[in-house]
Structures are given as C-alpha cells and as structure tokens.
C-alpha cells in the first residue's frame, strides 16, 4: 500500500489552547487535574485553582510588557510549574520557546537569540547563571524569571492591576492558526532548527486523540477512563510530553510531574498512574533490572520462563487470536509469581503506556502486553506535533507504529520516504525559509524516514533516509534494524552501526554501567571498570552473542562483521546523546573516527 488516510473525528479546530483551561474551570471546577509534589506528599489542584494560578502569572506577564506574539523561553526540568507557565504564556498571547534544562550556554544563546525571546523563565540559580553568561548578546531579552527564587508569586503580585477583562481580551485575541510554540529540534545533526507549531496543530493532534469515539475511540481510552492519570517524567521541552500534557488538560485526566528518573519506580508506586509516557530505553531498563534481580536471587530460570510465557501469550492475541488452555493456565501461574510484582513496581494501576522516540522492538512489546501492560507504540516528529501514527489499545499490531491518526494521511514515496499531510503538520522552520522549502511540498511533510504500509494501513519504520549506509559493494543498509536489536541486550548501553563506502558492516558498542556489576557477579568475575570490561574475553563473548542475534534480522551482506567495545559510555552530558536520548551520529563519527577506522584496518 502506498497511501493510507484516516478521516478526522473532529471538525476543524476553533479557539485556542487557553479555552481548555477556561472550559474546565466552568464545567468541572472541582475536578482534580493536577497533583503537585510538596515534599513527600501530592497536593491536588482543581480545574478552578489551575485557572486562577494561570491567570495570575499571565497578568504578570502582561504587566511586564509581554505582547501578543512575543516569544518567551522556558528552561526547566519537568515540574508542575512548567505546565503552569506554558499555559500562562498562551493566556498572555505569547509563544513558548522550550529549552532543555541540560542545555549548554551556547545552545541557550542560539535558541534565545534566534527566536528573539523577550523573556525567559529558568528553574534554578544555575540556569539563571547560564543565561547570564550569554545575556550581553541577547538584545531582545528584557526579563529573566527564576522559578525557585519565587518569581511566579512576584509576577502574580505585579499583575494585580491587569483586569480580568483585559486578560480575557488578550487570550481571546489569539486566533486558532496563531503560533503557540517554537520547539528547537534536539539537533542530532547540525544546529537546531525552530519548528513553528500553532494552536491549531495542537488542537488537531490532541482533539483527534482525546475526543475520538466509535471505531477510532482506541487511544482516547487512556485519557478518558474515570480514574485516568499519568506521571510525566520525560522532558516537557520535548513535543511528545507536551502533547500528553495538553491531552490531559483537554480530557481532565490527573497529571503529576517528576524529573528524578533515578527515583522513578518509587514515584510511580506513590502516584499510581493508569498510563505512562516513556521511551524504549526505560522499558529495556525495567526488563533487564527485573531479570538481573531474579538471577541474583537464584530465580533466573523462573523469570525467563515467565518472560517466554508472557511473549507467547501476547503473540497468541495477534489478529484477534486466543491463547490455548495450557498457555492460559501457565500464564495465570506466572501472573501470581512474577507479573503482578512487575505491575506493582510500576504503581499497580498502570494498564497502558505510550512509547515513542525510538523503536521499541517486538519482543519487549509482547513481553509487556503479556504481563498486563499494553505499550502502544507511535511515530511522529516535532514537525508533526508528535504522533502522526499510533497503535490503539484495541487494535495494536506489535512491530508497527500503528495507523495514521484521524485527520492524517501517510504516503510512501517512490524512494520509500514517509510523507505526512494533515492539521498536525507544522507551518515551517523559524527564520529558515530554505529548510522549510526543503521539508514541505504541496502540503506534504517530508519526514526523512523510510517506511512501509501494510495492507491494513499500519506503518512500519525501516530506517532513516539520511542514515542509510551504502557499502562499497553497493548494498543499502538501514542501521536502525541492527542497532535496535543490539540495544535490547542488557549489557549494551548504546551502539552505532557503520560501514558507509566500506567493504562490510561493523559497529561500536558501549556498555551499560548500571547493568555491568550484576552481570560480572553472576558470571563469577571481579568488579571491573568499563575499560577493563571492554577487554574482558567473557564480556566480549557476551556482546558477540548479542551481535549474532542482531544479525538474524538481516541478510548476510547487511550483517555486522566486526565490532569494538569502547571504554566509555555515550551520554547526554558527554554531548553524544540528545535530551530525548537519540544518538548524535555526526558527533560519534567525528569524535570516534579513530575507533571506526580501526574496524577496517
């Protein structure tokens, strides 16, 4: 199939994103829509209370001179105030410009200067200092507000002279097609580009998910269940978390925030969300951690048998099938012994998860569905306001990223590139007409990704157009297929497949520093540094096994012939991963050129 379109379930959106907050306060003033962390407690925030807080900050912004269309930066970890400020900027008629809280001074300078930001919210004194380093070069920046210094209360106080009527006129003056945010791509290659997303983009995306009914109801179930709630822990500077934030406000689903991923499991157990938003790496960590604990306790065989049973159970559900009686009985036993404990570790009430940012892999997808946590995998980009296609809980084809969202058409070009059309497609790149012209043509967005549509309209991602490797023998190789399989191994943290213009495919591998100690202990080996482990014959044999498994997914000409384990890991702090944990291939190829060359010496 070359093209698949899914009809929209809502009419062309009207109004703007601020209407969601006002409608909630009028129609359900006492409904709890947020729970904010206060020490070791969660304090509930009702629809009416949220409107009051948003209005107070918005009035302060107006009093500070923020005019309609002005850009305002927001540099903070994921927390309640992020969402509060985002909506307050929209109430004041402004445009939110998110900045990852891990950004360097140079990155902050580029984003604030390119966007022409008039003000910037930062979370900490350290963030304020980062902006201060480059402020002399920011001619448009008039204000810097620091969240932890109490400036939200200060803004609310200074805005008391702005009347309710003035605020209402300001927010009502924002048309549906007005710019809502400029999100700078995380920059896996080159300098980040600012994606212009409008209020219409968000309303088309979220409305067609949350308000879907009938045959397309699927994904709306997550948001519209009576007890629907989620704990956001991915960066809100990323479009995926941002869309879920807006979706929860539209659906009045309760939202909590946490930025401490190291403390994620206790937070999940405390908050008890019904669904979560995550990236594949988190699910890999959950699975590998559970496997390691079981093996350390001498219960490795039980765990792996339970995992195989969960996968078989899920696979039996494909295409409307049913597991056999023997498998059902075996699954029930393991549910008491293993699966219930895993669900409890994720809060006990979590039934669904949305996964994006990178391919999940069929094995993990079947495992988690088999234990009672259905992961719906989707696909999209910043330029498509997050998801362009997504699986539904009631129609989930594992190994694909689902069908197009309602109101979206996906076409596969002659060269395999995925083209996308619909109300979710951005209007262009800020201050970059050349890049806009290259990305948009006749209403179609050129994604740069390679994929295929099956006979039912489900999309499968097979590679990245710009990352396709062409070997010296002329063989085209999509590295993602191999890399995804390799990263699924518990000892592997990151990897990169190489071989452009070379006689064969090879790869660099980094070890998972958290998983390594348990693996060494289980194999009777002493503690080692990453550098020592990289040279250890046992570790090398283990990684060879992972490579052999990955090679099963490709032809002989595409398979990995050589690999090298590095003495370091690739991290965001090291500048090799983006904040959404994508690998910066150009950085790796430059900084590890010697290691790559050695694979062919």
Contact 374/368 with Cβ under 8 angstroms?
Answer: yes
State how far the Cα of 158 lies from the Cα of 56, in Å rounded to an integer: 9
Strand partners, 374: 352
Residue 574 has a pLDDT of: 83
Q: What's the token pair of residue 316?
A: 């039996």
CA angle at 140 for the pair 138 and 145, rounded to the nearest 5°: 85
State how far the Cα of 385 lies from the Cα of 110, in Å rounded to an integer: 22
Alpha-carbon distance values, 568 to 427, 494, 496, 506, 534 (Å): 41, 10, 14, 18, 9
State how far the Cα of 468 lies from the Cα of 477, in Å rounded to an integer: 6
Burial class (CB in 10 A: 0-12, 13-18, 19+), 247: buried
Average pLDDT, the chain: 91
Kindly report the number of other CB atoms within 10 A of residue 592's CB atom: 19
Burial class (CB in 10 A: 0-12, 13-18, 19+), 10: middle
State how far the Cα of 132 lies from the Cα of 214, in Å rounded to an integer: 53
State how far the Cα of 49 lies from the Cα of 33, in Å rounded to an integer: 10
| Range 524-549 burial, b when 16+ CB lie within 10 A, else e | ebeebebeebbebeebbebbeebbee
Q: Which CATH superfamily is domain 276-465 in?
A: ANL, N-terminal domain (3.40.50.12780)
Contact 114/138 with Cβ under 8 angstroms?
Answer: no
Token pair 């920059």 is at which residue? Answer: 187
> Where exactly does CATH 3.40.50.12780 map onto the chain?
17-174+226-273, 276-465
Residue 318 has a pLDDT of: 84
Q: Which residue has the higher pLDDT, 74 or 502?
A: 74
Residue 264 has a pLDDT of: 87
pLDDT band at residue 434, thresholds of 50, 70 and 90?
very high
State how far the Cα of 391 lies from the Cα of 402, in Å rounded to an integer: 4
Expressed in angstroms, the distance from the first to the final Cα of the chain is 43
Burial class (CB in 10 A: 0-12, 13-18, 19+), 211: middle
Q: What CATH architecture applies to the domain 468-598?
A: 2-Layer Sandwich (3.30)
Contact 230/275 with Cβ under 8 angstroms?
Answer: yes
Instruction: Check pLDDT > 80 for residue 240.
Output: yes
What is the average per-residue pLDDT within 33-61? 96
Instruction: Check pLDDT > 70 for residue 68.
Output: yes
- Kindly report, residue by residue over 254-276, the tens digit of the pLDDT: 999 998 777 888 999 999 999 99
Instruction: Check pLDDT > 60 for residue 480.
Output: yes
Q: What's the token pair of residue 85?
A: 């400020």
Long-range contacts of 293-301 (CB under 8 A, 24+ apart): 295/518, 295/522, 296/518, 296/521, 296/522
Token pair 């699966």 is at which residue? Answer: 339
- Range scoring the smallest mean pLDDT among 68-82, 210-224, 429-443: 210-224
Check residue 292 and report its DSSP letter. Answer: H
What does residue 127 show for φ and ψ, rounded to 5 degrees? -65, -40
Check residue 178 and report its DSSP letter. Answer: S
> What is the H or E stretch that residue 469 is in?
strand 469-470
What is the average per-residue pLDDT within 431-450? 93
Residue 376 CB partners (closer than 8 Å, separation 6+): 219, 222, 352, 353, 354, 355, 390, 391, 392, 393, 396, 402
Contact 303/261 with Cβ under 8 angstroms?
Answer: no
Token pair 């495919």 is at which residue? Answer: 505
CA 291 to chain centre: 25
Token pair 């296609």 is at which residue? Answer: 389
State how far the Cα of 210 lies from the Cα of 518, in Å rounded to an integer: 43
Q: What is the CATH number of domain 17-174+226-273?
A: 3.40.50.12780
Q: Which residue has the higher pLDDT, 165 or 503?
A: 165
Contact 86/58 with Cβ under 8 angstroms?
Answer: no
> Where exactly does CATH 3.30.300.30 map onto the chain?
468-598
Contact 200/208 with Cβ under 8 angstroms?
Answer: no
pLDDT band at residue 188, thresholds of 50, 70 and 90?
very low
| Range 328-342 burial, b when 16+ CB lie within 10 A, else e | eebbeebbeebbeeb
Instruction: Check pLDDT > 60 for residue 189.
Output: no
Residue 231 has a pLDDT of: 96
State how far the Cα of 278 lies from the Cα of 275, in Å rounded to an integer: 10
- Kindly report, residue by residue over 458-479, the tens digit of the pLDDT: 999 887 777 778 787 667 787 8
pTM above 0.85, yes or no: no
Residues in the chain: 601
Residue 459 has a pLDDT of: 96
Of 315, 341, 337, 339, the residue nearest 327 (C-alpha):
315
- Kindly report, residue by residue over 527-556, the tens digit of the pLDDT: 999 999 999 999 999 999 999 999 887 777
Sheet with strand 119-122: strands edge to edge: 143-146, 119-122, 71-75, 95-99, 179-184, 194-198, 428-429
Secondary structure (DSSP) of 133-161 = HHGGG-TT--EEEEGGGTHHHHHHHHTTT
């Amino acid at each position: 199939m070359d093209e698949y379109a899914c009809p929209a379930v809502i009419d062309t959106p009207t109004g703007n994103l601020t209407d969601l907050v006002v409608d909630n306060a009028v129609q359900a003033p006492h409904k709890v829509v947020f729970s904010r962390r206060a020490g070791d407690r969660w304090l509930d925030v009702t629809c009416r209370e949220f409107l009051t807080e948003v209005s107070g900050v918005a009035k302060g912004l107006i009093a500070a001179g923020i005019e309609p269309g002005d850009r305002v930066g927001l540099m903070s970890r994921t927390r309640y105030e992020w969402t509060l400020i985002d909506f307050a900027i929209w109430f004041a008629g402004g445009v939110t410009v998110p900045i990852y809280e891990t950004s360097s001074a140079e990155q902050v300078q580029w984003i604030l200067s390119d966007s022409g930001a008039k003000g910037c919210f930062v979370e900490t004194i350290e963030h304020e200092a980062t902006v201060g380093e480059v402020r002399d070069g920011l001619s448009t920046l008039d204000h810097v507000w620091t969240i932890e210094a109490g400036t939200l209360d200060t803004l609310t106080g200074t805005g008391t002279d702005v009347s309710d009527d003035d605020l209402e006129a300001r927010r009502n003056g924002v048309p549906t097609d007005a710019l809502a945010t400029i999100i700078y791509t995380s920059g896996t290659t080159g300098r980040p580009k600012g994606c212009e997303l409008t209020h219409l983009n968000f309303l088309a995306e979220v409305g067609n998910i949350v308000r879907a009914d009938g045959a397309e109801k699927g994904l709306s179930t997550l948001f519209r269940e009576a007890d629907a709630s989620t704990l956001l822990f991915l960066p809100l500077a990323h479009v995926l978390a941002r869309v879920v934030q807006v979706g929860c406000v539209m659906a009045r689903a309760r939202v909590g925030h946490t930025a401490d991923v190291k403390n994620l499991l206790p937070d999940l157990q405390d908050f008890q969300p019904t669904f979560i938003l995550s990236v594949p790496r988190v699910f890999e960590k959950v699975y590998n951690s559970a496997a390691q604990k079981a093996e350390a306790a001498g219960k490795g065989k039980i765990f792996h048998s339970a995992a195989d049973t969960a996968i078989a159970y899920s696979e039996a559900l494909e295409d409307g099938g049913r597991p056999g009686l023997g498998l059902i009985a075996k699954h029930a036993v393991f549910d008491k012994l293993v699966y219930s404990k895993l669900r409890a570790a994720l809060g006990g009430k979590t039934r669904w998860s949305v996964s994006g940012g990178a391919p999940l892999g069929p094995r993990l997808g079947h495992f988690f569905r088999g234990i009672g946590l259905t992961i719906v995998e989707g696909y999209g980009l910043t330029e498509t306001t997050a998801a362009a296609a997504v699986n539904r809980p009631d129609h989930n084809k594992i190994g694909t990223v689902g069908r197009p969202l309602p109101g979206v058409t996906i076409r596969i070009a002659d060269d395999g590139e995925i083209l996308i059309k619909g109300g979710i497609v951005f209007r262009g790149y800020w201050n970059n007409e050349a890049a806009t012209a290259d990305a948009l043509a006749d209403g179609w967005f050129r994604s740069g990704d390679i994929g295929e549509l099956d006979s039912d309209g489900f999309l499968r991602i097979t590679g990245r157009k710009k990352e396709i490797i062409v070997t010296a023998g002329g063989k085209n190789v999509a590295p993602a297929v191999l890399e995804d399989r390799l990263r699924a191994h518990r000892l592997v943290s990151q990897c990169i497949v190489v071989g452009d213009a070379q006689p064969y495919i090879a790869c660099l591998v980094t070890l998972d520093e958290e998983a390594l100690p348990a693996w060494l202990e289980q194999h009777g080996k002493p503690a080692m540094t990453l550098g020592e482990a990289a040279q250890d014959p046992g570790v090398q044999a283990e990684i060879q096994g992972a490579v052999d498994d990955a090679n099963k997914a490709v032809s002989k000409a595409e398979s990995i012939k050589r690999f090298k384990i590095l003495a370091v890991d690739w991290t965001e702090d090291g500048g090799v991963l983006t904040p959404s944990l994508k690998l910066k291939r150009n950085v790796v190829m430059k900084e590890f050129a010697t290691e790559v060359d050695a694979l062919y010496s």
